[in-house]
Amino acid sequence: MNDLTQIVDALRKRGNKVTPQRLTTIEVLLSMGQQHFSVEELFQGVKQRNLDVGMSTIYRTVQILEEMGFITKRNFDDGFARYELCELDEKHWHHHIICLKCGKVIEMQDDFLETLEKEIEEKKEFIIINHELKVYGYCSDCYKIMKGEKFD
């Protein structure tokens, strides 16, 4: 997990300003943990701290942190860009299960594609850097409502 000092040091080393507004933005982002967040949700969290911060500051900070590899953009096909903190020592990102009814996103830490990756690398002489898997369906709560029965 990234911490505030690591991010601030990297920003300064890169030549980016670390203003009070940017610092608060990073603190709020870190407090969100592994939650998937939109820029608007991050903005609301920063505004709760009563800072004079504009949406452009939030967008620019998110862009810089994404470029630096501290956060990554996710698309869950719901029309919104979402972001999450990166684990820089992970070989692959985790996978996501997405409910088509309520939009709930469940993270899967298991990497079910390792065997497939090895096969692709050997048979196709292709070096895989990363992959992303999204599985769509219905969470148990929505399934219960839709079917009027328990999901087992």
**Residues of the binding site for Zn(2+):** 99, 102, 139, 142
Report whether 36 contacts 84 (CB < 8 A): yes
For residue 44, the number of C-alpha atoms closer than 13 Å in the C-beta half-sphere is 6
Q: Tokens standing for 140?
A: 């148990």
Name residue 96's beta-bridge partners: 107, 134
Q: In this structure, which amino acid lies at residue 43?
A: F
Residue list, annotated binding site for Fe cation: 114, 131
Spatial separation of the C-alpha atoms in residues 1 and 26, rounded to whole Å: 13
Residue list, annotated binding site: 99, 102, 114, 131, 139, 142
